Amino acid sequence: MTEQQPIVQEKKEEKEKKDIVEEAVAMSEEEFEAEVKEVNEDMKQWQREREQEFLRRSGFEERKLQDKTQFIKRIEDGIIGRTYNSKYPNGRFWGFRGDNKNPMNDEELKEIEDIQQFYAFRKGKIQMPEPPAVRREVRVFDVKGGAFETKGRIYKVGNHEEPDSWLVQCWANQAGVSTEVIEATQTTEFAKAIVRAHMGDQFVDESVIHVFDIAKESIALEIIEKMEREGKKPIEGWDDEGRPILSGDAKRRIYERFLRFRVFAVRDAITKAARRAQLKIMNKEWREEEEIEAEASEVKMVHEEGR
């Protein structure tokens, strides 16, 4: 291979990536700005809802009034709250000492643990508290293949079910596991998180990396398949190089979904890495027995090949 061949190949790959991006987001400047504005508003609303749910699960009492929503909690020497209204759509904390006649200033509010926890959650440093929900029995396998019985929230993945991050966090709390974010990085190409789970003198690190090019292809495939199940036509044809020509609706859906993914990619990576680290430090594997056995066989094979 000559020295110029890698350069030619690299330029060809760059051109293909550029063509794919242009095809996926081909829209006028006005349409683009409108889409970005709509998605940003959706993200703000989604974030408000998550933060309000965090307040509910942290012991705040919700009060809905005509022109505002308040979350109130009594603390040792007073009362604190967060109010959402037209002036503060994303909320504002307030508090009173003693007989509710001595308002707290911003510096005093920052020292209150409940408020510190709120902002730690907003920054992705801690997870959502355990939901006070009705639960049903689930099974989780430890590394030796035994069964651990408990109750919690689960969700389906393919043909089996798994505990969500909140339930894993509940187990971790009961086991005395603490988590630490070692690294949280996001660039134009990827989002990466490394989380460490501590239990006693032991710790386990887990990492999750979201590569945006791969994520975009996965999102596009998922939306195309979903639209086909809905009886819609996401692909209008094929170009000379065999790439799909997407419909306007498919482009819009892919763009909106990918933009949402990128906005919260590093936070999602932190959550997933924390969940994996917590399960490992507790010697639990939430997978089918066949998956665990397959992985063990693969590790053994790699070790033997390396001898």
Residue 31 lies in a domain: no
271: in domain:
no
90 domain residue, yes or no: yes
Domain span at residue 62 reads 58-122
Examine residue 81 and state whether it is found in any structural domain, yes or no: yes
Residue 190 contacts residue 211 (beta carbons within 8 Å): yes
- The 3-class SS string of 78-94 reads EEEEEEEECCCCCCEEE
Residue by residue, pLDDT tens for the chain (307 residues) are 455 555 555 655 565 555 555 555 555 566 656 666 666 777 778 888 889 888 988 889 888 887 888 999 988 878 999 999 989 988 999 998 876 668 899 999 999 999 999 999 888 888 887 755 433 344 444 434 444 444 445 665 555 567 777 777 777 787 788 888 999 998 989 999 999 989 888 898 999 999 999 999 899 999 999 899 989 999 998 888 888 899 999 999 998 889 888 888 988 899 888 888 888 888 765 444 444 455 455 445 545 544 5
Domain assignment present for 33: no
Provide the sign of the torsion angle of the four alpha carbons 167, 168, 173, 179, taken in this order.
Answer: negative
Which residues, in sequence order, are CB contacts of 2 under 8 Å at separation 6+?
none
The verdict on residue 62 lying in a domain is yes
The number of domains in the chain is 1
Query: DSSP letters along 25-46, please?
Result: T---HHHHHHHHHHHHHHHHHH
pTM of the entire predicted model: 0.45
Angle at 291 between CA 270 and CA 180, to 5 degrees: 20
On whether residue 118 sits in a domain, the answer given is: yes
Domain-embedded: residue 27? no
